[in-house]
Amino acid sequence: MSVFKKFLGDTAVYGLSTIISRLFNFILTPIFTRVFAPSVYGIFTKMYSYVSILNAVLAFGMETTYFRYMNKHEDRKQEVYNNAFLTILVIATLFLISGLLWASAIAKMMLNGDYTHLQDQTRYVRFFVWLSFVDALAVIPFAKLRADGKPFKYSLIKIVNIATFIGLNLIFLFVIPYIIKHQLPSANWLASWYRFQWIGYVFIANLVASVTALLLLLPQILQVQFKFDTALFLKMLSYSWPILVANLSFIINENLDKILLSRYLPDAIADRDTGIYGAVCKLAIFLSIFIQAFRLGAEPFFFSHAKATNAKQTYAIILQYFVVALSVIFVALIANIEILKHFIPGKNHETQMQYWSGLPAVPFLLFGYMCLGIYMNLSIWYRLSDQTRFGLYISVVGAILTIILNVVLIPRYSYMGSAWVSMIAYFVMMVISYVLGQKYYPIPYNLNRILAYIVASTILVSLSFWVFKSNIFIGNALLVLFVAAIAYFEKDELKLILSRK
């Protein structure tokens, strides 16, 4: 089988599960924005921003380290697995104990001096401490499924996880209120404890869904042997800690803007604007789905293919067509934004207009995601050459840009400033990674063709959104022309690639 066909096959399986999971999750966006006002949805956005940063810390860079050392020490796969899992177990357990002990203090810090909702905020913190702990324990077992070439099982568990999350949300937000309202069996008991439209139920549903996924991963967890190889761990640590800092910096780039919005905007609009921004960010889900699916399939493939004689040529071709796909999705999403915006309905016309006022941020967010996807592809050079410190340097540059520019721009431009900062940070990281990669681990990328697709898609998006005011017919006409042009220029090379054995 062609190496490209194998890569595409594995990525397609991961992609299908990711699409199903994220689309199911996307269904919750119109539900949440209909049930919760922007100010309440701002709490949701802020809490998940914090937990994303925590998850990066608790994973400790061990997922990538596991892939690298499993292929680097093929005769010691079990020891690598033991070390990776036990490292996270110890870190996550210490975090769990500390988080539960200091939950009230953490809640006070998050409330910025207004302790009106301290009891609820403390509950939210405890939910997320447990959620972070459970998710951390699942990192290496999930990685093992990918490393063992079991994308279907991986996908099934992910789908069960999101289905559980959605099902419980529907029960909490709609089924229970219906039972109480119509005095069905158990209505009195439910009414004795149920709180109407309480955001905490969303967090409880997520925790139960994560526990369900962890239980399904028990066969992988039971393969762990409680034997810790200190010498091997020290080697893994030297590889993983720059990955940890790099991942943490990436998460900061991705989520700190939501936290800073609540800090640097006036109290009267902070939660509202954070909620608006969090909602419109969801419209970038289709591009992030593709990037996530690519990462799931590409990471183990890149490491396992590293010893092949034509590895660098393969990586170059993969990036070229990855950019093609990103560019098409970028143009397609903006061409159809007038349809997509209805996934953010709002409680009524007023809240709907509040949410939709954030749509001008979407093109900038999508371009930023495109740069991020390219950066993730380019980053293979420092992972394969064991120079992970460069990933640390690049990510720290991105994090510094994110922090400084958000602090400067948020007070004046609110979430639009955050969207611009996200785009700038990922663009800079992408450029730095390419320049350093060509110096230390040169890969023969077709830079002219890649730049042509990026520039062309950006021009078409600008025309569609700002010049033609999101006219769906003109936008899709531009999309068709773009796809036709790509097909014309790439047809010969695609035939050659897919014909290879």
Tens digits of residue pLDDT in 437-449: 999 999 999 999 9
Range of the domain at 71: 3-498
Other beta carbons within 10 angstroms of residue 313's beta carbon come to 12
Chain-centre distance of CA 445, in angstroms? 26
Residue of 453, 476, 196, 217 whose CA lies nearest to 334? 476
Quote the DSSP letter at residue 275.
Answer: H
Residues 6+ apart with CB under 8 A from 481: none
Side-chain-side CA neighbours of 452 within 13 Å: the count stands at 11
- Please say whether the beta carbons of 422 and 253 come within 8 A: yes
pTM of structure? 0.74
Q: What is the mean pLDDT of residues 56-83?
A: 88
CA angle (77, 5, 484) in 5-degree steps = 140
Q: Which residues contact 72 (CB under 8 A, 6 or more apart)?
A: none
**pLDDT exceeding 90 applies to what percent of the chain?**
51
Retrieve residue 24's tokens.
Answer: 């199911």
pLDDT of residue 428: 96
Q: Which of 64-73, 294-303, 364-373, 422-431 has the lowest mean pLDDT?
A: 294-303
What is the distance between the alpha carbons of residues 96 and 398, in angstroms, rounded to a whole number? 29
140-143-144 Cα angle (round to 5): 90
User: Residue 1: what pLDDT?
Assistant: 45
Instruction: Find where tokens 């956005």 sit.
Output: 45
* CB contact set of 93 (below 8 Å; sequence gap of 6+): 133
How much is the pLDDT for 37?
Answer: 78
Amino acid identity of 86?
L
**What is the predicted pLDDT for the residue at 18?**
65
Residue with tokens 């159809």: 336
406: Cα separation from own chain's centroid: 20
Number of domains in the chain: 1
Answer whether 71's CB lies under 8 Å from 64's CB: no
pLDDT in tens, 235-266: 998 888 888 877 777 777 777 888 888 788 88
CB neighbours of 456 closer than 8 A, spacing ≥ 6? 327, 482, 485
Q: Are 365 and 425 in contact (CB under 8 A)?
A: no
Tokens 């009891």 belong to 119
Cα–Cα dist 284/292, whole Å: 12
**Max mean pLDDT range (158-162, 255-259, 426-430):** 426-430
- 139-152 pLDDT, tens digit per residue, is 999 999 988 878 88
SS3 370: helix
Q: Give the pLDDT of residue 293.
A: 74
Q: Tens digits of per-residue pLDDT, 390-421? A: 988 998 899 899 999 999 999 999 999 999 99
Q: Give the SS3 label for residue 2.
A: coil
